[in-house]
Chains A and B, each alone.
Chain A
């Protein structure tokens, strides 16, 4: 699935040139990399489950992209995609993840104890004396860390059959229902949710929308919606798992306020418990030492981690160097509705820009350190003072 696979052989009746997509108006990572020669070399290949090159690239062909925003333009249908189509995906990964080479190794670190208590060396020690548990709540409204996980042996959302998707759901429910203590919670299948429950979850920023983005739709991830999709969350609503949206699992830890340390600790503890529960049932997560955790979109490889805050930065966000500051801090901004939304009332979603090549601890540390600096800058600008001496070096 979605459409390229079953007639992969039919295509061989035509030359590679006749099949090669028209990418002249395209601006995404796939289009930059996929030459006619590469297309010719890869087009008759498929993964053991039957995912083909055209399946990988369909979303990128259908969505030429934007002059300013560079989308990835390709997806994986299973774990083997990253191997069978490495000639395409390695350069895409390298371009997207800041020069990450095919021979590089990714480190995983989910030990929250490693989140530094001491100040980061690039920042003035007198200003920052603790490690992530006290982001100023006058500015930081909420803190959140998310990642994704894929279950080894199953096809990914662009390619999975209904049977597989349901099996993933069943496995997930079984494992999550065992969780107790602060993780004790409940699963809500999208099919059975009432409209009120659903709207409440969306308003709380908990639930995923029915996909409307053509980027997702063109890859086939929304097939059979809402079959086998759902959300599990703990009673406190601080730990959530999305099942079968863009990935098998999306795991989210969040709470109001600025205690990122607590959020990250819960995140790591919860993930570790879930992984153990899956292993008890004979399943592991897709992971390898080169790509880290394997997810549907190449942009989420490695940690798949986006750690961020909603923070009030009405002054610094208008500063001419705001973009440059974020870039140096290796952070990105989004609106408060998430990706592709606008900031409302000077409140921004600030998170790490990287996913691969840094560990989870490193990335969250960057967010903590970076947000502290941004708040310091905001306070200076409020007081009418300069922030020139606070300009960070490129991390």
Chain B
């Protein structure tokens, strides 16, 4: 090993030629001059064969590490998207964050829309694993934002304290947060707030740029569960999403504080509809109306959202592809949450629980955040209906337990409808 390196190192560094040392290098075959380097958008630094660059994933437990074989790495490591995004950047977060024995993170991100195509050989198996078998090569993702289809969307407010639906949207033609330049990020901000300024009626609102917000405004928004934090999670920082913080980041919300848009956090936009109480149907109606209005407004200016029929809405993290939708409630389940069957019931209903601070937090006072597990392979309407039906079932269980009656684990509902 050392002597191979010796040979590589003693040869003069030549920026025009990709290293051909070692058998099996798939970069062999063509010479890149500096001009070609410039046009192809690809780096020409690599001095070592893919086998010398392949990350050490032996202690890792994330979807990228489970699927990135040396062969796939070798095939993709010198490819670049038209914007110049490369595999090492996509997987850096998964290399730097081995994961947890119990929690399986995704371990890779997209830098632009084309990442999902150029690096399909690794994204597809990761998507399939994360989305419980959804196969992007032969399945289509349905999109449905017709909120009138939701049935029984009003929860018992003795149990449900608040209802919320969120998703993300990316602006086609601009790089995603791991890769965007400052100018691109500022352009995203400009395009989005320009569109939001066109919203009217109950959606009319105002933008608060993070660079100009006062500390009091900021703390109030955090306390209201409205604002995103400056990223501290290494999952995000290692992916490069926090660069240049807080430049071009901000939050827009309507005057009623029931419809919010985060700009340039983990995605170009995160769109949130929320209210106190249990009227999930109304929350979802506002959600759909707001999204459709914003889409109309950006289209007027010649922009559109990233979307395709294979993957639905394109977002930074593969876990948010498809609908990118998390619909959930804060619900009091003091008895049910202590029942040993609680996890199984959630699993069969295709729901997940989180604490009231969101992901990675603990439940306080038996109040849980209950939301849909799935994102891809079912439409928005289907997922929200799943949450409605599921939460109604959980409340039923809680009521039965209050009366000393027994509860049943429901049959597992099917995943891809």
A interface residues, Cβ below 8 angstroms from B: 1-11, 14-15, 18-22, 48-50, 54, 58, 61-62, 153, 155, 161-164, 166-167, 170-171, 174, 191, 217-218, 222-225, 227, 281-283
Q: Are B55 and A18 in contact (CB under 8 A)?
A: no
Given contacts A18-B182, A50-B45, A61-B243, 7 further A-B contacts (CB under 8 A): A2-B92, A9-B41, A15-B183, A48-B15, A49-B13, A217-B237, A282-B6
Q: Are A161 and B9 in contact (CB under 8 A)?
A: no
A50-B44, A170-B5, A222-B96 known; A6-B80 Cβ under 8 A: yes
**Distance between Cα atoms of A5 and B48 in the complex (Å):** 19
**Distance between Cα atoms of A2 and B241 in the complex (Å):** 12
How far does the Cβ of A177 sit from chain B's closest Cβ, in whole Å?
11
Checking B45, B88, B183, B237 against A14 with a beta-carbon cut-off of 8 angstroms, the contacting residue is: B183
Complex A-B: 26 CB contacts under 8 Å: A1-B88, A2-B92, A4-B181, A6-B41, A6-B84, A7-B41, A7-B84, A7-B179, A10-B181, A14-B183, A14-B187, A18-B182, A48-B13, A61-B243, A62-B245, A153-B9, A163-B49, A164-B48, A167-B9, A167-B52, A170-B5, A174-B2, A222-B96, A223-B238, A224-B96, A282-B6
Contacts of A54 in B (CB 8 A): 181
**Distance between Cα atoms of A164 and B8 in the complex (Å):** 11
Contacts of B55 in A (CB 8 A): 162, 224, 227
Checking A15, A62, A217 against B244 with a beta-carbon cut-off of 8 angstroms, the contacting residue is: A62
Contacts of B5 in A (CB 8 A): 167, 170-171
How far does the Cβ of A314 sit from chain B's closest Cβ, in whole Å?
37
Q: Are A223 and B92 in contact (CB under 8 A)?
A: yes
Q: Are A227 and B181 in contact (CB under 8 A)?
A: no
**Distance between Cα atoms of A22 and B55 in the complex (Å):** 35
Q: Are B56 and A227 in contact (CB under 8 A)?
A: yes
Q: Are A7 and B175 in contact (CB under 8 A)?
A: yes
Give the secondary structure class of A's interface. loop
Instruction: Name which residue of chain B comes closest to A6, CB basis.
Output: B84
**Distance between Cα atoms of A163 and B9 in the complex (Å):** 11
Contacts of A14 in B (CB 8 A): 181, 183-184, 187
The A-contacting residues of B in range 23-72, CB under 8 angstroms, are 38, 41-49, 52-56
Q: Are B243 and A163 in contact (CB under 8 A)?
A: no
Q: Are B43 and A5 in contact (CB under 8 A)?
A: yes
Q: Are A161 and B89 in contact (CB under 8 A)?
A: no
Q: Give the bracket for the number of chain B residues in contact with chain A.
A: 35 or more
Q: Are B240 and A3 in contact (CB under 8 A)?
A: yes
Instruction: Name which residue of chain B comes closest to A51, CB basis.
Output: B45
Contact of B123 with A by CB under 8 A = no
**Distance between Cα atoms of A50 and B41 in the complex (Å):** 12
| Nearest 3 A/B pairs, CB to CB | A163-B48, A14-B183, A6-B84
Checking B89, B92, B96, B242 against A6 with a beta-carbon cut-off of 8 angstroms, the contacting residue is: B89
Contacts of A170 in B (CB 8 A): 1-2, 5
A14-B181, A224-B55 known; A161-B186 Cβ under 8 A: no
Contacts of B95 in A (CB 8 A): 223-224, 227
Q: Are A21 and B53 in contact (CB under 8 A)?
A: no
The A-contacting residues of B in range 158-186, CB under 8 angstroms, are 175, 178-179, 181-184, 186
The A-contacting residues of B in range 198-249, CB under 8 angstroms, are 211, 237-238, 240, 242-245, 247
Instruction: Name which residue of chain B comes closest to A20, CB basis.
Output: B182
Contact of B345 with A by CB under 8 A = no
How far does the Cβ of B204 sit from chain A's closest Cβ, in whole Å?
29
Contact of B85 with A by CB under 8 A = yes
Contacts of A1 in B (CB 8 A): 88-89
Checking B46, B186, B243 against A58 with a beta-carbon cut-off of 8 angstroms, the contacting residue is: B243
Q: Are B38 and A9 in contact (CB under 8 A)?
A: yes
**Distance between Cα atoms of A54 and B49 in the complex (Å):** 27
